[in-house]
Structure 1
Amino acid sequence: MSTNSDHEQRMHPRWILKSNVSVFERQSKEYLGLLVDCSEQGVMISTYDQLQPGTTLQIDLVDIAPHANSRRTGQCRAEVVWCDKITPSLYGSGCRISQQDDTFDVMLKGYSHAHE
């Protein structure tokens, strides 16, 4: 686990989401948790299980676009940088994005524009 000061050394601002975005492990389709916030370079997800720093994840983000009747799925590869217990039953994990598809990029940009 890392200290709070480690979390504050981010290079990019984080955007807190105003809607639910589910996070799944791509290969197994296993539900990992919810996206808490994001930036151009990373995401924070809440999970029931502790994720080990250094773990590389292949993840799918799934949301329902505002004013749309369809869901979007964006894919990325991300490395777990830190993991802290945030409640007795939830963990928060900060992940650095290393690869992303176009849909994932559009989704993140949409979350950032919701704060402008």
Structure 2
Amino acid sequence: MLFTNLGSTLKKWKLTRERSMSTNSDHEQRMHPRWILKSNVSVFERQSKEYLGLLVDCSEQGVMISTYEQLQPGTQLQLDLVDIAPNVNARRTGQCSAEVVWCDKITPSLYGSGCRISQQDDILGVMLKSYSHAHD
């Protein structure tokens, strides 16, 4: 139930955000399409193993994560992204280095942060591709 409500809240927020953005915005200048996830992917800070939040959407070069804490633009992150692979029933962990590009309040208790991936391991590459194929 929590994830269903979060999903509908995020969709409404994204529609409102897209309508309010100018055509010259960084968000509108993406080189790769974003894929909204149909599964839950948990995001952790690699060093501390601290839970940051959930992956909302992704592209080949970026991710949006929802967090309870505000992330400051310019912050460099070392992330572990963990999911359960569909039809395999096994956990996958992909790693990346990313920079927070923007952060907006989504609800009174949640923030959405767009992050640009600067490096990723092969496992994360496979994971991101699998999310894109879920939309085919």
How many residues were matched structurally? 114
Mind listing any 5+ residue stretches in structure 1 that lack a counterpart?
A: none
For 1:46, the equivalent position in structure 2 comes to 66
Match of 1:66 among 71, 86, 103: 86
Percent identity at matched positions?
87
Please list the CA deviations of residues 54-77 of structure 1 after superposition, one character each: whole Å capped at 9, or x if unmatched: 000000000000011210000000
Say which structure is richer in helix. 2
CA distance in 2, matches of 1:70, 1:10: 32
Q: Which runs of 4+ in 1 moved over 4 A?
A: none
More strand, by proportion: 1
Q: Which ranges of structure 2 fall in alignment gaps of 5 or more residues?
A: 1-19
User: What is the TM-score with the length of structure 2 in the denominator?
Assistant: 0.81
Deviations 1:26-84 (A, max 9, x none): 00000000000000110000000000000000000000000112100000000000000
Larger radius of gyration: 2
What's the Cα RMSD here? Answer: 1.0
